Amino acid sequence: MAKAEFLRKRAEAFLKEAEYDISQKQWFLAAFHFEQSLQLYLKYYLFLKLADFPKTHSLRVLLKGIGKAYKREREVENLIKENEEIVATLEEAYITARYLPVEFTVSQIKKIESFVKKTIKFLKNFKQ
């Protein structure tokens, strides 16, 4: 389980970095770090269940994998549908925050933060 713990610890570290970025008003970094945190949490929970995870950066693919692995497809589909814009923004942040002159607003970051923390809490309720 060392690989799983590595994923969890990195996910937590990225979450802390995102919170620090907010305190520094570094919105693009906060978006990137929230995306990284959620991506690694999803891979962590997939690894716990399947001893592997898809080699992708797509949050949608990872979320759908969670739904299938934990037999919670409907709940995950609802989560994606209700947060379609935020999921798209997070997926874009993976590339744009590093390579393009894209800025994020405080409002976007607050929505992203809320979604990421809500999704992490959702994942923590899964039974292994």
Task: Tell me: pLDDT of 127 over 70.
Answer: no
pLDDT digit string, tens, across residues 7-61? 999 999 999 999 999 999 999 999 999 999 999 999 999 999 999 999 999 999 9
Can you give the residue ranges of every domain in the chain?
Answer: 2-124
Separation in Å, CA 88 to CA 14, 35, 54, 77:
19, 11, 19, 14
Task: Tell me: pLDDT of 102 over 60.
Answer: yes
Identify the CATH class of 2-124: mainly alpha
Task: Tell me: pLDDT of 84 over 80.
Answer: yes
Mean pLDDT (the chain, rounded): 94
Distance CA 1, CA 13 (A): 18
Contact 24, 64 (CB under 8 A): no
What pTM was computed for the model?
0.94
